[in-house]
A and B are shown apart, each in its own frame.
Chain A
């Protein structure tokens, strides 16, 4: 049985924030949802992100998540478009 969905806050960085017109997005997902599920949910709430999502990673405050990795109990995530530091 699917466990309870809860509201997740996703910080949209750089180009992602510009495209969405906001730095924060909110989606509702259960704890067993994966990084790929989070991106799919964002594609629905913010269709303007769709072209970029394929190139984005999802991360917690500590680490990057695998596409198939469960989000777990956290309530804050980062959407990481291609990085350009250095």
Chain B
């Protein structure tokens, strides 16, 4: 089963081609790739770079769990996910997910679910460095994973953003 998922949390720049290669199989009619990039604006403010940090071992473990969960509920052939940590410049990929399936619907579904779950659960944090010289932690999603339990369909309740004050 584990050869059907490929996950990594790394300080090394991400390459889409690596993830496509990790999921493509002879049986696959399609591969969907989503790349999350560092954007130069956040709520009207100019962003220069983003510093990503992670609870390393926990993040590696959770990324495997999420990939496995998505594989099981979507019928995808394979799924892959890579999350970058460290100081990233505008335009660099912070996360890439890829999914292969016999038909496109399952591949799109798997990629979508995986990136959504990563954003809700993966123990990773971004600190945005703005062009005015300030830096702030992004608000983020409160994790209530262990209390909620993993629903078979991976349905998730989006939590409101955390308090933003108090830095």
Q: A19-B166, A51-B163, A51-B166 are in contact. Are A82 and B140 (CB under 8 A)?
A: yes
CB distance from B54 to the nearest CB of A (A): 7
CB distance from A49 to the nearest CB of B (A): 9
Judge whether A57 and B144 touch: CB under 8 Å: yes
B115 within 8 Å of A (CB atoms): yes
* Cβ contacts A41-68/B at 8 Å (1 or 0 each): 0000000000110011101111111110
Judge whether B118 and A81 touch: CB under 8 Å: no
Measured between beta carbons, the chain A residues less than 8 angstroms from B54 are: 85
Q: A83-B120, A83-B121, A83-B123 are in contact. Are A55 and B142 (CB under 8 A)?
A: yes
The CA of A11 and the CA of B56, in the complex, are separated in Å by 11
Which of chain B's residues 147-167 have a Cβ closer than 8 Å to chain A?
147, 159, 161-163, 166-167
Contact of B119 among A56, A81, A86 (CB under 8 A): A86
A80 within 8 Å of B (CB atoms): yes
CB distance from B153 to the nearest CB of A (A): 19
Shortest Cβ distance from A65 into B: residue: B146
A18 within 8 Å of B (CB atoms): yes
Measured between beta carbons, the chain A residues less than 8 angstroms from B90 are: none
Judge whether B95 and A82 touch: CB under 8 Å: no
Measured between beta carbons, the chain A residues less than 8 angstroms from B139 are: 82, 84
Judge whether A85 and B125 touch: CB under 8 Å: yes
Which of chain B's residues 60-95 have a Cβ closer than 8 Å to chain A?
61-62, 65, 83, 94-95
Shortest Cβ distance from B161 into A: residue: A82
The CA of A60 and the CA of B59, in the complex, are separated in Å by 11
Measured between beta carbons, the chain A residues less than 8 angstroms from B144 are: 57
Measured between beta carbons, the chain A residues less than 8 angstroms from B61 are: 61-63
Judge whether B142 and A13 touch: CB under 8 Å: no
A69 within 8 Å of B (CB atoms): yes
The CA of A84 and the CA of B129, in the complex, are separated in Å by 14
Measured between beta carbons, the chain A residues less than 8 angstroms from B163 are: 51-52, 55
B145 within 8 Å of A (CB atoms): yes
Interface residues of B (CB under 8 A from A): 36, 52-55, 57-59, 61-62, 65, 83, 94-95, 115, 118-127, 137-147, 159, 161-163, 166-167
